[in-house]
Structure 1
Amino acid sequence: RFDTNMDCHLSAVEFKEVYRYLLLVKLNEEEPTPFCRDMFVGERQGQPDDHYNVEGVIGSGNFGVVSKVTCKETHNVRVMKTINKEKAMRSGLPPRLVMEEINRLKTLDHPAVLRLFEYFVDAQAIHLVCDHLQGGELMAAVQDAHVRGKPLAEDWVRQLFHQVCGGVAYIHGKGVMHRDLKL
């Protein structure tokens, strides 16, 4: 890469390039780049309907619903989790804790971890816009294989296990515990 004339020797100029490159690598190890994911994720003003078309509800839980949405500007498909503040408070989850969770999610950046793109806060709810994961629940895949009487393919399980372990190790390294594994 640095031996530009391919003579198996480094000239003074080539050596300076190698030296510069190695210094940059070491600097990045000691002081990682100041840019991180949470700098690009934030609260968006307005209402979710101003920016997203709701395609339909794909799930519900104790605190609200999860909807499939499409961004009006980019046409990217996302998922919006709407947390009803009143229901959350009645269940012992104050909005302050939800906001702490959002602040943790904003910092996560790993291929095996759900990404938070933005969020909206209004008087009634907190709306989280995240990746759309089409694979479904892991337990549903295991149960489906059992019902069909066909075991899951070993290679598929190995790849899945590798991804899950990588994601869990990453979030544990960030001081976050997993609660919901998806495919």
Structure 2
Amino acid sequence: KNDLVVRFILSKYPILKMSLIKITSEPALHFQEIDVKDKYNFIKQIGKGSYGEVWLVQPLRSKQIKQVRKLIYLKQQNSAPQTELEAAEREAKLLSSLKHPNIVSYIESFRSVDNFLNIVMSYCEGGDLYTKLKERKTKQQILSENQIVEWFVQICMALQYMHDRNVLHRDLKTQNIFLTKNDIVKVGDLGIARILDNSSDMATTIIGTP
């Protein structure tokens, strides 16, 4: 029965079949100094924490709004301790190697000339699952059983992919589960949010070996 559910979801969302393919591409990491304004147009700020900011940006070479990326800033001067910066770089390297259709894509990471660690990720137009469910509750709209099963299976597929690579999320909640405009699930915020919010246990509780 479980196999039938997975097959149904794969038939409905062909892109999820990518999870069955072994991807060996190298992560796009380069921590040399780069002027971020030479690569992206800033659209608007959508978040701010103790150690940085979250922006919607658009690549300069792209005219399609679909390619807007979420850019996370992490200050280095008079803010985040060096140990956390080093841990963030290690985590960015790990996360950039996770290539799965149900995990938020980490595009690239680099240090900018204004002393920030920049982590560029794909943007999920559908928002997070917490907000989605809250809106439906306000409107008294009940989710169908099929929709619940589809989202649940996609979340499980993402977690299975991570666990197969000895990576633990350890902060899985509806606020960290995002949706595309087509309601495809994307598990995200694997530690970056904690860095922005000045969480002291970032280096030891975000990822690990089961």
Same fold (TM over 0.5): yes
How far apart, in 1, do the equivalents of 2:124 and 2:47 lie?
A: 13
- Structure 2 residue corresponding to 1:174, chosen from 162, 165, 172: 165
Partner secondary structure for residue 177 of structure 1: coil
Matching residue of 1:59: 47
Distance 2:27 2:85 in 1: 22
Q: Does 1:103 align with 2:93?
A: yes
Question: Take 1:140 and 1:61, find their aligned partners in 2: how far apart are those partners?
Answer: 19
Q: CA deviation at 1:45?
A: 5.1
Q: Write the distance in 2 (CA, Å) between the matches of 1:118 and 1:176.
A: 19
Aligned to 1:26: none
One-letter identity of the residue aligned with 1:108: L
Equivalent residue for 2:29, pick from 18, 42, 46: 42
Distance 1:40 1:119 in 2: 9
Counterparts of 1:55-94 in structure 2, within 5 Å, are 55-75=43-63, 76-85=67-76, 86-89=78-81, 94=84
Aligned pair 1:149/2:150, yes or no? no
For structure 1, the residue ranges without an aligned partner over 5 or more in a row are 1-31
Residues 87 and 154 of structure 1, relative CA distance in 2, 3 Å threshold: farther
Summarize deviations over 1:53-86 as a string: whole Å, max 9, x none: 0011122233211111111113332111112234
Aligned with 2:34: secondary structure?
Answer: coil
Q: Aligned with 1:118: secondary structure?
A: strand
* Contact kept in structure 2, 1:47 and 1:120, CA below 8 Å: no
In the TM superposition, what is the alpha-carbon distance from 1:94 to its structure 2 partner? 1.5
Could you tell me how far 1:169 is from its partner in structure 2? 1.2
Cα distance in structure 2, aligned partners of 1:163 and 1:129: 23
Shift in alpha-carbon separation, 1:60–1:93, aligned structure 2, 3 A:
farther
Q: Which amino acid aligns with 1:112?
A: N
Could you tell me whether the CA contact under 8 Å between 2:27 and 2:97 is conserved in 1?
Answer: no
User: Which residues of structure 2 form unaligned runs of 5+?
Assistant: 1-20, 180-210
Q: Quote the Cα distance in structure 1 between the aligned partners of 2:79 and 2:104.
A: 24
Gap change, CA 1:40 and 1:74, over 3 Å in 2: farther
Superposed CA deviations along residues 141-166 of structure 1, whole A, max 9, x for unmatched, are: 12222222222222222111111111
Q: Structure 1 length as normaliser, TM-score?
A: 0.71
What stretches of structure 1 move > 3 A for 4+ residues in a row?
A: none
What is the letter of the counterpart of residue 36 of structure 1?
T
Q: CA RMSD in A?
A: 2.3
User: 1:40, CA displacement in angstroms?
Assistant: 4.4
Structure number with greater CO (CA < 8 Å, separation at least 6) is: 2
Aligned partner of 2:130 among 133, 139, 143: 139
User: Among the aligned pairs, what percent are the same residue?
Assistant: 22
